[in-house]
Amino acid sequence: MSYCVATMIDAGIVFASDSRTNAGVDNIASFRKMKTFEQAGKRALLIVNSGNLAITQATINHLEQDIRRDTEPNLMSVHSMYDVAALIGTALRQVRHRDGPFLQESNVDSSACFIVGGQIAGEHQRLFLVYPEGNFIEATPETPYFQIGEVKYGKPIIDRVIRAETSMDDAIKCVLVSFDSTMKSNLSVGLPIDLACYNRDALQLGNARRFDEEDPYILHLRRSWSEGVRQAFAQLPSFKW
């Protein structure tokens, strides 16, 4: 299991993904689940994924090969983010159609999901969730974020904090707290965490950072959030019979 999230606000889009693909007492593997595609001044795309690692890697490789071979259409030639989501969905369907039956014979789940967002010159920033079947939906002002993987533990904080007017700094804190809440309750999600930001209308990728187990900011955030939750709980009015 894994956890990825992307949230779109007026200021831009914040993406984050963990890197854990397997968990057990003595079996933990890490792979990067974030991929970027960029033409400065023309387009900035960012993709995060969860699900079967072989399926997600094969899908990304398929998309990259189309770019290298100049196959039309490809991620660097289409004219809208809608087309980008459609290309990912098509590639995912092709990979699952090819590999899925063999995985099912071994009772291996072949499902995978992708979140893709960013901006192409000529349109506004957009954010999409691509389902295992290859179909997809777009984020709206009413639903400005997507989660994939182990979503339930990190959802409450995002629901309470994220609004269109939320600042980029607050959105980053919110996303990282959602990861801390998830990691606290589920060992299948873990550090390192990859974080990347896209600033609206920049048409190039913004800041990116990886947080590991010894990162001082993550340690401080975790401690401060835990203490703050305990203090808020202690201040709640007592129930009167």
- Is the pLDDT at 198 greater than 80? The verdict is yes
**pLDDT at site 9:** 97
- Is the pLDDT at 40 greater than 50? The verdict is yes
Block residue for tokens 């079996």? 27
Lowest mean pLDDT among 15-24, 83-92, 114-123, 232-241: 15-24
pLDDT band at 23 (very low <50, low <70, confident <90, very high): very low
- Is the pLDDT at 237 greater than 50? The verdict is yes
**pLDDT at site 188:** 76
Domains of the chain: 3-234 (3.60.20.10)
Q: What is the mean pLDDT of the chain?
A: 93
pLDDT band at 125 (very low <50, low <70, confident <90, very high): very high
pLDDT tens readout for residues 46-69: 999 999 999 999 999 999 999 999
**pLDDT at site 106:** 87
In this structure, the chain runs to a length of: 241
- Is the pLDDT at 110 greater than 50? The verdict is yes
Tell me the percentage of the chain whose pLDDT exceeds 90: 85
CA angle at 35 for the pair 34 and 40, rounded to the nearest 5°: 135
Buried/exposed 19-57: b ≥16 CB within 10 Å, e otherwise? bbbeeeeeeeeeeebbbebbeeeebbbbbbbbbbbebbb
**Stretch 141-154: mean pLDDT:** 94
pTM (two decimals): 0.93
pLDDT band at 211 (very low <50, low <70, confident <90, very high): very high
**pLDDT at site 25:** 46
pLDDT band at 187 (very low <50, low <70, confident <90, very high): confident
Please state, in angstroms and rounded to a whole number, the distance separating the CA atoms of residues 32 and 56.
Answer: 11
Tell me the percentage of the chain whose pLDDT exceeds 70: 95
Nearest Cα neighbor of 126 from 158, 97, 166, 83 is: 83
**pLDDT at site 13:** 98
